[in-house]
């Protein structure tokens, strides 16, 4: 009831819904939802629109053709990006089992045979995208990262890096920095502002893993709860906006 009242009275909510396409967000029986202008919407998806809008101030998503997300959750961020930026045609989605299975099935519910699941990739050697412009979502496990042959235009990690041991994050990022054209890739790292240092490391360490690029840091309050903030570290690379003037 409170979420309903708060989100319906915020101008920012209306602004985001006017600016971006809100895809179907209730798959799986979502409970955390609100009704806005007669349409039921998952709160998670509204918060994702806010994050995308914040990032888009630095990164030209409309110029990207491919993306790589580590720790993609159940698949909502890829879903929102693909529905708003149809120019993104090639996706690498990496997560640990069993979440990999959940995310794969979520993507398949929307994109069907355009999703390539672990059963199709586990026995392959090098992992590459097809050379055409068809939509392709490769769902892979962590131990397959060394098989990736393609570079991508965007790399994203939201929240999960700070929950991993430092040596695991370093292993991931060392491999990513070896991808073709890696130093020019738009790199998007985010995490919640209030961390428990007994279970996570300080967000300020995130840019240190990508010492070959410069990051802009900023915070954004949650759309629903202003007391909660998300920290962003953005390095736009080749997707930077052109200088003004």
Give one word for 46, left, alpha or beta, with left for phi > 0 and alpha for psi -120 to 50: alpha
Task: Report the 3 state secondary structure along the chain.
Answer: CHHHHHHHHCHHHHHHHHHCCCCCCCCCCCCCEEEECCEEEEHHHHHHHHHHHHHHCCECHHHCCEEEEECCCCCHHHHHHHHHCCCCCEEEEECCCCHHHHHHHHHHHHHHHHEECHHHHCCCCCECCCCCCCCEEEEECHHHHHHECCCCCEEEEECCHHHCCHHHHHHHHHHHCCCCCHHHCEEEEEEECCCCCCCCCCHHHHHHHHCCCCCEEEEEECCCCCCCEEEEEEECHHHECCCCC
Q: Has domain 2-239 been given CATH number 3.40.50.150?
A: yes
The predicted structure's pLDDT at residue 75: 94
pTM: 0.94
**CB count in 10 Å sphere of residue 143:** 9
**CB count in 10 Å sphere of residue 47:** 19
**Average pLDDT of the chain to the nearest whole number:** 93
Q: State the Cα–Cα distance between residues 93 and 79, nearest whole angstrom.
A: 11
The predicted structure's pLDDT at residue 104: 97
Q: State the Cα–Cα distance between residues 225 and 77, nearest whole angstrom.
A: 20
The predicted structure's pLDDT at residue 226: 87
The predicted structure's pLDDT at residue 242: 84
For residues 169-177, give the mean pLDDT: 94
Highest mean pLDDT among 19-28, 161-170, 235-244: 19-28
Q: Is the dihedral of CA 151, 153, 157, 161 positive or negative?
A: positive
Q: For the chain, which residues make up each domain, given as ranges? A: 2-239
Q: State the Cα–Cα distance between residues 140 and 123, nearest whole angstrom.
A: 12
pLDDT (tens digit per residue) in 49-83: 999 999 999 999 999 999 999 998 899 999 999 99
């Amino acid at each position: 009831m409170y979420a309903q009242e708060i989100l319906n009275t915020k101008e920012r909510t209306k602004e985001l819904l006017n600016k971006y396409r809100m895809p179907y967000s209730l798959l799986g029986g979502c409970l955390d939802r609100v009704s806005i202008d007669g349409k039921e919407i998952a709160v998670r998806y509204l918060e994702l629109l806010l994050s995308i809008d914040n990032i888009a101030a630095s990164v030209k998503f409309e110029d990207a053709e491919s993306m790589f997300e580590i720790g993609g959750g159940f698949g909502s961020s890829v879903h929102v990006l693909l529905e708003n930026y149809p120019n993104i045609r090639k996706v690498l989605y990496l997560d640990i089992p069993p979440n990999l299975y959940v995310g794969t099935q979520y993507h398949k519910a929307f994109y069907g045979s355009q999703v390539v699941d672990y059963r199709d990739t586990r026995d392959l050697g090098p992992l590459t995208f097809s050379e055409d412009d068809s939509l392709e979502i490769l769902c892979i496990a962590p131990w397959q990262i060394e098989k990736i042959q393609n570079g991508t235009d965007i790399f994203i990690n939201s929240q999960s890096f700070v929950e991993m041991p430092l040596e695991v994050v370093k292993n991931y990022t060392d491999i990513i920095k070896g991808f073709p054209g890696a130093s020019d890739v738009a790199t998007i790292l985010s995490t919640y502002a209030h961390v428990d240092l007994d279970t996570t490391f300080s967000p300020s360490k995130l840019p240190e893993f990508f010492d070959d690029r410069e990051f802009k840091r900023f915070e954004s309050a949650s759309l629903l709860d202003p007391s909660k903030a998300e920290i962003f570290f953005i390095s736009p690379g080749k997707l930077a906006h052109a200088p003004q003037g």
